Structure 1
């Protein structure tokens, strides 16, 4: 509709179109609309191409070489001939550095132009540093246009390296004596974010190390580093020294794809010379500390993520190179200890060590590794072809939970090898001699040389680690006779875990192949599965069925808006299953901030390993019970800790003090102390049957969450912890029945036990509010003082959930008497109604 205004009036004159005019305008409007739509689509396409392909094309921008699919960067070093090393080469502003760098950059360009493929995509090479030797460090950049992306794979590390090696082999002998000659060269694919130019002024540092410790830190420390931070520190030292770099504080986002620190035994970000790549948060008990093999080291810090953390503080200094090279030796004493070079710091690159242990003739040698960590990216631990320990012709690498070896003679050689890339914590070992005629006085001798208590023989537990203590046994009435001759506790039958090793404990445990087993054990025809009808009484036939989205059962996750999600363990799995996102709404829990070591065979918990564990002290008696943090104001514990016959003081909040973030009872001043405001045992708690054995404690003031204090995730009522699942129980309880309380927080690996089997071995004293768990570490069990503590399980989502509360049991660590725990899922509704958590 067109409109015009009469002069001097506010009235509009409306002009009506005839039918022909309307038709013509309609056609014009359609054409215009189509053209506008096409222009919008082209604009969107152009923006996407720019954003993903061309946005970072400016070669002068140090942030330009990001993880762009068409940009490939390779880096390495060149060994030069005919060049006298001069300290001027260390100064990137000197004319000598500029001239030498320009010659090498031009030479690299000549090499690449000899390849008909690479010459099309080669953009530039940059020499970043020189070091004694004489070595020059460089990177080269290639850009593949969008139209050629299908052949991007041909611009490979192998092709570039082959070209460079061939080029220096056939380089012209006619070159002037004043020209630089390359005698060897390395090359590896490099994250383009590390390709910094030596003229960069932002976050690029050249440091000199000496005997006095010096410091540097990530940008923004101790607050938060900014996103898109790309920093490098080149550190040098005198030729006779190596460089030690430690990180007293290290807190980087726990996603090594976006944010990380990578350290190189080089001045180039050459992956073949990488020492380690780290992210996350490290405690003081597991600091990051590395040492170079020579007098140079490169630290690269990449931060792409929008979620920033405080970053790191680093300390660097020199140590004599002779100290780095010290390893190996000859031992003749009956007992001794040895470690990887510089342990507990990361061992250096390119090391070879040998320890020769020689004891009296007729004696043999037993070696036990208390810590063993030789992990390296993409290494097959069955082959151990990079870093390894070799004993009696066999190589060991990776991270081992147990390693005990025995010699065949009175002489034993242990060798250690590390290659030029990636190192780790290494190992700590101790050895002792023994008489073959009596290898374990008063104990049982395992085939692998370990000695264990004789009462652990034929108890169904693999205490030796090689099952030698369980072979040739006569099974007891409370044990199952496996087809391979081993004896296993009956409580491990039908728990979906192959405990026998031959699967015989899991045979005849389920329905026929054409049947479906309901949660209550009833077998129905397989056709009942996912038919959108509740055929099983408990609705388990429709659990995790996408075709049954609205059918609610005890296995369904209930969203806040009433929607039912038929998916096993839907909460906090990082997938929004509820339309109101309530399944992911309360998931700031169940995480361990610290990166921790695995100690071989250890049961002492590391500092911060279980940040939800709480110690409850009663009056002046010290530790009495455990609890878990479920929010900043609430703790979860066991009712029997507070409802004690003839002791009303146990129900008085003033009688109790809580300690969070505690590791050892001898240092309670290091923990966060809070008084108790309210104690709320479950109203249906039965003192005689221990049914509903659960209690809530409200704190007098909120907790302050930290590296060592975090809440545990509470599972929904539909959460499933299947039989056979490995979980952990922690506490300061007595180490044996009738013994003394532990000083250091203890941890034990446990396994969920089939409910039916649990009821059988416990003689039907189990209610639906209870669950059973058997311990994998023989002779260890939850005991007096562990009551109220958490039983926690790790889910694939990366979260820890509390499955149970330590409740009761018959004695401690008795055969076929598993620990009994209050089942949290059955009481989740009461917890929510009482606390709001």
Structure 2
């Protein structure tokens, strides 16, 4: 029988214990050292006075330095800008910084900038000089860098003065009379401090793409070696007049933390924030590439690295496209009963400074329904001041909208206008339009108050499918749902979980505990055996109160220094909440290679989407179980995968081979294969109940991490994964009950299910070391062959190993969730055995 088929209930004594740190007191080596000393003599007094005088002199010196000399310390401030010269015509020589024409015009620009800064006393006294970085067409645009030496404490005043001066020159066409140049459209911004450092290696390249040829840019050393540390590289890219540039990354693999290594793409020839299209790091799949289009014939790419953690890097192709190319066209007239429209370059990034208008007309007597299956338009904020989609006189749309966002128009004509500003582009949107009868806006569907249409089956199912909850109001619930007094229906597995899901606390009424259970202060019920066991089984920690010890509550995080953090999910969120950084240690884990759902009802995962997933094979045979990478030597799997049977010695390391970085089972030769050094099943694993169903595997050789091989984060022993939260399962198991295993790694999203409800559904077989997850309506689940694989939970941008696929009653059956080993319960044991 496969372990996924179920078992009898049996609960042995818990072996879990907190990972305690011992304190050792060292004895004195010489008892005389502990004896009371006599008072100091005359020499001691003199020495003490000398030391006191020296300390006073030091303090006085520091105060004098602070109040007198420190004011002379100056900081380097660099401002990047551009201006348009209206009385010059661009010539090819302006592309070459060594040409006489370039130098002559650059000198004029520097004189003009000096004159401009002299108008502001706050700037003229700190001004050090300017450098011209480049020229481009239109008539001639000059890109420059200005340096100021600013006394400490005056940085904000200088920023304000630069902004005032820029606004003065940009608010009107200012004709400068004291120099030979006439210019307007002045723009200036402070240079990002990460882009300049005297300690960094600086490289600069200039490339001009002509005709239809493709230029290539790549990180230093690519593809033969990782990119160089502590460097700053920039590429000034140009195209011919009348063209725009298209930058396409066919490979992009950097460190995940953008504060360390990053690429920035600008719609300019200098690094001005107001022309920053995007800042990127991490990994992007070739199937979901990064592609950017400029608004003119210039573009700047900058690449910054710190002094450690370097990765393979990137390569990109640069081509030019005629500005009037049909590929860049957008907007126009649309008519008929159905049609579609997309933002420019969708699904890649739309260009900055773009305006598109679609005028849509449907037959007379019909109304228009607009739907956006995908919508990612820059970053949203109230009133959408940047990039936005405007539909008639309705509120503009921006940011990331839910899939299939719908807008209805009570007319047979409407204009849809898309506008992007000069910075921060995104992937854009896909849109459709169709007609509907004014008297029946949602044929055969339920109409939400926000005009969205949803399937009738989604009405009163406990989930907010409309987005405004109107599909869940005034409901008559069936016996499988909680009937809230306020008219809502909620899933039964939310009953008595200590969370007010109804909003009026109906789901938490009449939650008495059974015989042998302890009632927590939050009305949660836990086994009496769990009281005072050193672990917070109640979510509020009340099962550990009055036990003669102090521990952090379950809703807090225990720091290494003994501090308890009440902040939600403080681990690896980039902030040192503990004060000793213990909540930010061991955080190089759980990052998907990129962002893109056992698995019945799932879909194909993308290459590298779950880089911690392992395929376990009996030597020279097919896939048997899954596992998760937690370090370069250790894997976590299920104990039931490593139990001997009469034919195969599953408990012996020599039986197995592990494939890491595998995506398709038929591509084993392209994956990293490792043999096992040892297998450690949990000592209290029960083969009849699958309690304590967890095991560790040590690899014979450490693995090298890559974009397809990474560790998943381990949760802390106090982590709780809330009922109703979405988790992800993955594996090569059967795609239907009794079916064959999957050829391609599968993924699916399921939800955590209340333990009390799950225990009722599974006939009382659930222990505190198990977690239930699934879709109670059926159709999505783990299955045979997924055992040992991960159930992962996303928090603070990282994936955590919340559970290990353990067992279930069949696969994807209604009201039969999957059962997973609760990894936080075994955190101390994992630490004890592996050191991870």
Match of 2:122 among 94, 117, 122: 117
Partner of 1:3: none
Shift in Å at residue 426 of structure 1?
A: 2.2
- Range that drifts further, 798-807 or 29-38: 29-38
Partner of 1:781: 781
| 1:662 partner SS | coil
Change (3 A) 1:498 1:411: farther
Shift in Å at residue 480 of structure 1?
A: 1.1
Quick one: distance in 2 between partners of 1:184 and 1:290? 25
Shift in Å at residue 181 of structure 1?
A: 0.8
TM-score normalised by length of structure 1: 0.76
Quick one: distance in 2 between partners of 1:99 and 1:397? 46
Partner of 2:825: 826
Partner of 1:164: 169
Partner of 1:803: 802
Partner of 1:395: 396
| Contact 1:366–1:449 (Cα < 8 Å) also in 2 | no
Partner of 2:189: 188
Match of 2:422 among 387, 412, 420: 420
Partner of 2:22: none
Partner of 1:269: 271
Shift in Å at residue 423 of structure 1?
A: 0.9
CA deviation digits over 1:350-392, x for unaligned, max 9? 112234566677777766545432234xx41x42221123446
Shift in Å at residue 825 of structure 1?
A: 2.8
Shift in Å at residue 296 of structure 1?
A: 0.9
CA deviation digits over 1:236-273, x for unaligned, max 9? 11102221222333344444345432221112222222
Partner of 2:318: 316
Quick one: distance in 1 between partners of 2:313 and 2:332? 40
Change (3 A) 1:39 1:549: farther
| 2:121 partner SS | coil
Shift in Å at residue 38 of structure 1?
A: 3.8
Quick one: distance in 1 between partners of 2:703 and 2:197? 44
User: Is there any run of 5+ residues in structure 1 with no aligned partner, and where?
Assistant: 1-21, 58-69, 512-518, 526-533
Quick one: distance in 2 between partners of 1:363 and 1:739? 49
Match of 2:352 among 346, 349, 370: 349
Match of 1:459 among 458, 461, 477: 461
Shift in Å at residue 752 of structure 1?
A: 3.6
Match of 1:245 among 244, 247, 261: 247
CA deviation digits over 1:399-423, x for unaligned, max 9? 3442342645666654422111121
Aligned positions, number: 769
Quick one: distance in 2 between partners of 1:747 and 1:346? 27
Match of 1:145 among 137, 151, 165: 151
Change (3 A) 1:707 1:383: same
| 2:396 partner SS | strand
Quick one: distance in 2 between partners of 1:792 and 1:602? 15
Change (3 A) 1:640 1:36: closer
Please tell me whether residue 706 in structure 1 is matched to residue 711 in structure 2: no
Partner of 2:13: none
CA deviation digits over 1:749-787, x for unaligned, max 9? 444444444434545321122122355998533344433
Matches of residues 424-463 of structure 1 in structure 2 within 5 Å? 424-429=426-431, 457-463=459-465
| Contact 2:602–2:748 (Cα < 8 Å) also in 1 | no
Partner of 2:527: none
Quick one: distance in 2 between partners of 1:191 and 1:577? 27
Shift in Å at residue 732 of structure 1?
A: 3.9
| 1:730 partner SS | strand
Change (3 A) 1:412 1:623: farther
Shift in Å at residue 654 of structure 1?
A: 7.4
Partner of 2:479: 477
| 1:523 partner SS | coil
Shift in Å at residue 53 of structure 1?
A: 8.6
Partner of 2:133: 128
Quick one: distance in 2 between partners of 1:667 and 1:201? 41
Change (3 A) 1:293 1:583: closer
| Contact 1:358–1:411 (Cα < 8 Å) also in 2 | yes
Q: Give RMSD over aligned pairs.
A: 5.0
| Contact 1:492–1:505 (Cα < 8 Å) also in 2 | no
| Contact 1:366–1:406 (Cα < 8 Å) also in 2 | yes
Matches of residues 355-366 of structure 1 in structure 2 within 5 Å? 355=358
| 2:217 partner SS | strand
TM-score normalised by length of structure 2: 0.76
- Range that drifts further, 764-773 or 646-655: 646-655
| Contact 1:267–1:298 (Cα < 8 Å) also in 2 | yes
User: Is there any run of 5+ residues in structure 2 with no aligned partner, and where?
Assistant: 1-40, 524-531
| 1:491 partner SS | helix
Structure with the greater relative contact order (CA < 8 A, sep ≥ 6): 1 or 2? 2
Matches of residues 288-303 of structure 1 in structure 2 within 5 Å? 288-303=290-305
- Range that drifts further, 181-190 or 488-497: 488-497
Quick one: distance in 1 between partners of 2:63 and 2:230? 25
Change (3 A) 1:319 1:250: same
| Contact 1:616–1:627 (Cα < 8 Å) also in 2 | yes
- Range that drifts further, 428-437 or 709-718: 428-437
Quick one: distance in 1 between partners of 2:390 and 2:321? 28
